[in-house]
Amino acid sequence: MTAGERTLIYFDHNASTPVRPEVVQAVTACLDGLHANASSLHREGQRARAALERAREQVAALVHARADEVVFVSGGTEGDHLAVVGGAWARRDEGRRVAISAVEHHAVHGAAEVLEEQGFEVAHLPVDTSGVIDLSALDHLEPGTVLVSVMLANNETGALQPVAEAARRSRHAGARLHCDAVQAAGKVPVDAAALEADYLVISGHKLGGPKGAGALIVRRGAPLAPLFRGSGHERGRRGGTENVPGIVGLGVAAECALRDLAAEGPRLRALRDRLEAGLRASAPGVVVHAARTERLPNTVNASFPGARSDHLLIALDARGIAVSAGAACASGAVEPSPVLAAMAVPRETAVCALRLSMGHTTSAAEVDALLAAFPEALRAARAVGAHAGG
């Protein structure tokens, strides 16, 4: 009856992507039949344990890791905290510095703040105007830098980072490398072994799994101080009873993502090209961010001068399209995103940024529907912007 119940055409897959039907089935079956604690020694417990270990293998396969390197966590934020805080804390006697790229996810910045409060110094690695880190900065790390954090794909722009080279240079400087692969996993091939990342994080709900389940891949030999203690779960690396249904869903999602990866990449890239061409046609002044570097096939981050992010988001929502504002926080403040600011995007352009992200449910018809709705929404948003000091 009310407007809130209608379904929007969804262009916000980087925020969260619909759960795959195979996952719904697996999680439902798990909730229905796998009620035991995976640590219990009886056969019911062993069944739950077996489901966990199967998921561990599925996750390991997606990111080319070994099953025993997979630590289940609650998602990206926890994975990043466990890697950055736990990885640096484990080496605190060797040095109290970490370095993170300027475009890391909030979760990594937050984890670095935790370390700062513990007396660590945090360096921020600059990026170029495409949002790609300046690798040479890794050749001049301060002595005592124990951990470097470089994401695989940026959540806002989709820009891919040279993680393998970053890992090599970090290792040379004596630092371990943490890689937030939350946005990359399922969208581009992720090979933890080839990247030689010491810590790598993925999240279930970004690849068609449920929210509340993710994984930290801890490379063999990489030290880790657990954040949650008190019991020996996950080989002592993450205390707390395992979220069996969530983890089972994560595993199935990982398996599906791996299965579809080869076909989905080109399909999404074609949709992205169609989307960008259409946007350029209807908004001649559009600025596509990170357009001149390798990026995720599903993500378009673009500024439409004169149309402030919050206005354009509302105008598109009212016309049936769900997108993400590239320039607003939870409180609604229109602040340039720190990612675009680090890329030296001018403020007046940055506050007009929109993120359009696609996924396994996105069709060409949906892209065309967005392109059909876009000119009118843009006109409405620009009409406000002219007056609202946007």
Partner 1 sequence: MPARLRVLAAMSGGVDSAVAAALLAEEGHDVTGVTLKLMCYGTTPLSPRACCTLDAIDDARRVAVRMGFPHFVVDAEDVFRTRVLQPFLDAYAAGRTPYPCALCNQHLKFGDLVRRMELVGAGVLVTGHYARIERAAGGGVGLYRAADRSKDQSYALAFVPYAALGHTRFPLGALSKGEVRAHAGRLGLAVWDKPESQDLCFVPDRDYAGFMMNQLGERRGTAEGPIVDTRGRELGTHRGLIHYTVGQRRGLGLAAPEPLYVIALEPARNTVVVGPRRALESPGLVTEPMNWLLSSPPEAGRAVEAQIRYHHAPAAARVFPRQDGGVEVRFETPQSAVTPGQSCVLYDGDRVLGGAPIAHALGAEGAGAPAADPTRGAH
Could you list the residues that contact partner 1 (CB under 8 A)?
Answer: 1-5, 308, 310-311, 313-315, 317-318, 328, 331-334, 380-381, 383-384, 387-390
Please report how close the Cβ of residue 136 comes to partner 1 at its closest, in angstroms: 34
Between 223 and 320, CB nearer to partner 1:
320
Between 258 and 328, CB nearer to partner 1:
328
Q: For 6, phi and psi rounded to 5 degrees? A: -70, 155
Catalytic pick from 30, 256, 329, 352?
329
Between 274 and 319, CB nearer to partner 1:
319
In angstroms, the Cα distances linking 338 to 101, 102, 106, 141 are 12, 8, 10, 22
Nearest C-alpha neighbor of 197 from the set 10, 321, 337, 64: 64
Question: Locate tokens 């506050």: which residue?
Answer: 351
Please report how close the Cβ of residue 82 comes to partner 1 at its closest, in angstroms: 28
Question: Locate tokens 């199935």: which residue?
Answer: 252
CA distance 197 to 191: 9
Between 160 and 316, CB nearer to partner 1:
316
- The 3-state DSSP class for residue 53 equals helix
Q: For 319, phi and psi rounded to 5 degrees? A: -105, 15
In 160-233, at which residue ranges do the beta strands (DSSP E only) sit? 176-180, 199-203, 214-218
Please report how close the Cβ of residue 388 comes to partner 1 at its closest, in angstroms: 6
Q: Which residues contact 51 (CB under 8 A, 6 or more apart)?
A: 30, 34, 38, 244, 247, 248
Between 238 and 311, CB nearer to partner 1:
311
Q: For 302, phi and psi rounded to 5 degrees? A: -140, 145
In angstroms, the Cα distances linking 95 to 100, 240, 262, 367 are 15, 29, 42, 50
Verify whether residue 329 is a known catalytic residue: yes
Please report how close the Cβ of residue 349 comes to partner 1 at its closest, in angstroms: 16
Between 268 and 380, CB nearer to partner 1:
380
CB half-sphere exposure, 98, CA atoms < 13 A? 34
Please report how close the Cβ of residue 76 comes to partner 1 at its closest, in angstroms: 24
Please report how close the Cβ of residue 386 comes to partner 1 at its closest, in angstroms: 9
Query: Which residues form the catalytic set?
Result: 329
